[in-house]
Amino acid sequence: MNSGKTIFAQLVDFIPSSYEFRRCVERYHGEYKVKSFSCWDQFLTLAFAQLTYRESLRDIETCLRTAPQKLYHMGIRSTVSRNTLANANQMRDWRIYADFAQTLIQYARTLYQSEPFGLELEQTVYALDATTVDLCLSLFPWAQFRRRKSAVKLHTLLDLRGSIPTVVIITGGQIHEVNILDELIWEAGAIYLMDRGYLDFRRLYRMHQSGAFFVTRAKRRFDCRRLYSQAIDKNTGLQCDQIVVLNNPVPKRGYPERLRRVRYYDGMSEKRFVFLTNNFLLPALTITELYRCRWKVELFFRWIKQHLRIKAFYGTSQNAVRTQIWTAIAVYVLVAIVKKQKVCIRFYRF
């Protein structure tokens, strides 16, 4: 029979410091009047449920109680009960786990700061997008999206070096993606990749004034006036590289300065793409390749939905949903840390 640490216990060993978790708990008084089943026990239980894809609270309880002698070595010091876990998910502040996930994110970004992402650029490149998680209206009335539907949105800012989510904002499904631009703090010199759902010239101009760069797609009825064109190599698929200003007075008041317009024809899909950016130094072909890298955020959403538990929830309250999502993000980042350190984890039976 195999002996030694379980896979889960070996993963937990890569958490940088338990001291940071205790600070998060103390910050939000997470263990006020708690006699058993600490916040750390709750986090490990939810992390285990994410990695083993448990279906429900009863499933978590049954699975962990089949081998009680191994719970101590996993770091869980209390007996796991579905009622206790349900109460913890509902009552304990979700910001404890959000702050701890941010601690793991900062550590992971230091590991991946020299990681290539397909283009040789010194700047930090982010991809901004959102995904919708459908919910049942009768169980989640606080997240009503349409007349007969509920949903939450995960607005994510992804660092392309390592595909690490640096900012995750959880809102109801009725919040449009463009409103998230008001909540972000722009990093000077960084490049932000967005689809045309984020095309709001007033908000983009604030990003421009902060010293950040954006690359997005123009809408079909994009009204502009060409100032001059730059030389291109049409054999690469480029069709034009122009410096333009907006014509319509309403968006022009929002963005009074010049923009760069790059049109590209993709022979594989036989489609034409028109990109807008405030970066006038990068080659036009690099602008098109940058936008192609935006697809990594879609791969991130697909990965967490397929391998983690964020489409079905163990609680129906807003606090329980946010706690589960942030635990899933922490587990994703922890796996990324282990992957970067290239450590061989020995496979033992749970």
* pLDDT at residue 3, rounded to an integer: 57
| 152-186 confidence digits (pLDDT tens) | 999 999 999 999 999 999 999 999 999 999 999 99
pLDDT of 350 over the 80 cut: no
Type of residue numbered 289: E
C-beta separation of 306 from 332 below 8 A: no
Rounded Cα gap, residues 162 and 300, in angstroms: 11
C-beta separation of 71 from 48 below 8 A: no
Type of residue numbered 163: S
Domain limits of the chain?
Answer: 7-102+315-341, 216-287
| 103-146 confidence digits (pLDDT tens) | 999 999 999 988 888 888 888 999 999 999 999 999 999 998 88
Per cent of the chain over pLDDT 70 is 96
Going by pLDDT thresholds of 50, 70 and 90, the confidence category of residue 98 is very high
Average predicted confidence (pLDDT) for the chain: 90
| 241-283 confidence digits (pLDDT tens) | 999 999 999 999 999 999 999 999 988 888 999 999 999 999 9
| 48-75 confidence digits (pLDDT tens) | 999 999 999 999 999 998 888 888 888 8
